[in-house]
Copies of this chain bind each other. A is one copy, B any other.
């Protein structure tokens, strides 16, 4: 855990989700996604790579990391809820990984053996350090929830090897895909071994000085264009950018490097103000899976990679701990509800790699059992040629409870709202317990019952999201930000927060050209969309003009908006003199949460709807 932040994270044993939106997701993750991922890792041969002869190694450079992410997910699940069968599966996989480690700690199925390229001969694309990063994160999850086991030993030997090879006097370079940076800091936090922190610091400092070879996408692709502390905004490959920034915050917090922290904070602020989708999605470009320029955020073919959303949550979480500012928790909430929740099907076995905000043509069901290209903006698919997203989702859902609350010397902070039981001790030993009851985000009513409290005063801090104008706390209006209750609580005290969840219209900065003249509909933290399957017969998605003067309403189906229905018609040449669209009949149109889109088969879809 970070040493110098404003807030202290809770452990997974301190927060238990209760039935509700996120508990369902986590349960599906545990009961279905873990086995699904394990099945595909075996079937694709990526698990078998750990035993296979070098020439039979399968999958892309980073295939090992998918195995590690599954181990991390299993470890997070096993900690708070032990299960002998799952534990045996975890140990079997960990054993296969351990058997492949070389005596000097090196571990990668794609390099260094006879017939393979030499170790560290392709730092730009080889992902060897990236894979260690995920191995170490899996071990950190296990160490935190269980203790030292075989996998933790493997990760420590790998980390020692990395420090030997890439430390002072060694290879003075970095990995083309950041991830080792936050992982080494986390391992330092778990082990206390200062060498890991120093190595992470070296990796962060080396990047951005033309350390890696130039590539077709340019060095900004892997953030080797500018030193981290000199950059003003996230750029390049969005997953790489968010992972690196997360690692830089970790280094800054552990080394007390205020300049580095300020730099990443500034990058986050500019990225959120100029380079982030309404859903929280990051990275607009298909070509290089990268951030576009400021305000270049087309909903059409938005890339918004699932893993970039997860990277954004990782980064915002670290900045939340560092600063305590509710804006970071606001973005985490937005991203969880609109990227992370979107990227997996209700049954936990199909996934979006990209999360477009506008689907123009009907997607097609992936052929049964087929591995599909990663960026097919179509229906959710069971597995991808590059399958980073399913395993990343698995570890994120498995550790979701950790994002709900934090503590500081004076009390507890609730950042995300879900039905849950929380029990923790403050640094001075005072024990606090509470239960959160809510059907959020269906409604905004959140009931907090104190179940355990010291008889001294402490502060309960409740995030009021930026969109929640009109929220009330125990009947009194509270402004967006952190609402703090400091008092001597008693067991049985009940606090009622109402976040005024109701549908609202949202516009966009005029510089986001691609959505000019459009509005979106949000309700609480949830972005809504309209899908063709919900439209009246013979009405196309292109025909809707939402009338912002008619108040939105709600029905059992979703949010109801009044739209004019126009009649788009082909012209020989689509650039006529400007004209007003002809008047047309009106119709009520149903919008539903974006995170469920394409859940009822192929449909076309829009988040941003032309107003008029």
Binding site for B on A (CB under 8 A): 216, 218, 269, 272-274, 276, 278, 285-287, 292-296, 298-301, 327, 330, 358, 360-361, 373, 466, 504-514, 516-520, 542, 548, 566, 568, 570-579, 581, 608, 610-611
Contacts and interface: CB of A to CB of B under 8 A. Distances in A.
Contacts of A548: 578
Given A273-B570, A358-B513, A510-B566, A578 B519 contact: yes
A217 to B, nearest CB: 9
Name the residue among A358, A509, A512, A581 with the largest chain B CB count within 10 angstroms: A509
A320 to B, nearest CB: 15
Contact of A293 (B274, B294, B296, B361): B361
Nearest to A359: B293
A-side binding surface: helix, strand, loop or mixed? Answer: loop
Contacts of A507: 575-579
A151 to B, nearest CB: 34
Contacts of A360: 293-296
Contact of A273 (B299, B571, B577): B571
A316 to B, nearest CB: 13
Contacts of A518: 513, 516
Contacts of A273: 570-574
A516 B510 CA distance: 12
B508 A577 contact: no
Contact of A506 (B218, B274, B292, B577): B577
A269 B570 CA distance: 10
B576 A373 contact: no
20 contacts: A218-B373, A273-B570, A273-B573, A274-B574, A276-B574, A287-B287, A292-B301, A294-B361, A295-B574, A298-B298, A298-B300, A466-B573, A506-B577, A506-B578, A509-B571, A510-B542, A510-B581, A513-B514, A517-B517, A578-B611
Contact of A509 (B274, B466, B568): B568
A575 B330 CA distance: 13
Nearest to A566: B510
A505 B577 CA distance: 6
Contacts of A508: 574-575
Nearest to A375: B287
A506 B360 CA distance: 24
A278 B575 contact: yes
A162 to B, nearest CB: 32
Contacts of A218: 373
Given A300-B514, A330-B573, 17 more contacts: A218-B373, A269-B572, A274-B570, A285-B286, A285-B287, A294-B360, A298-B300, A327-B572, A358-B513, A504-B577, A505-B578, A507-B576, A507-B578, A514-B514, A516-B517, A516-B610, A519-B578
A576 B505 CA distance: 9
A579 B47 CA distance: 54
A184 to B, nearest CB: 32
Nearest to A580: B507
Contacts of A519: 578
Nearest to A578: B507
A279 to B, nearest CB: 10
Nearest to A216: B373
Name the residue among A504, A507, A510, A576 with the largest chain B CB count within 10 angstroms: A510
A294 B360 CA distance: 8
Q: Enumerate the 7 nearest inter-chain pairs by beta-carbon distance, A residue then B residue, closest first.
A: A507-B578, A509-B574, A517-B517, A287-B287, A516-B517, A286-B287, A293-B360
Contacts of A542: 295, 510-511
A504 B577 CA distance: 8
A516 B299 CA distance: 13
Contacts of A514: 298, 300, 513-514
Contacts of A573: 272-273, 330, 466
A228 B314 CA distance: 49
Contacts of A330: 573
Contacts of A373: 216, 218
Nearest to A334: B573
A215 to B, nearest CB: 10
A451 B430 CA distance: 105
Contacts of A576: 506-507, 509
A249 to B, nearest CB: 19
A19 to B, nearest CB: 31
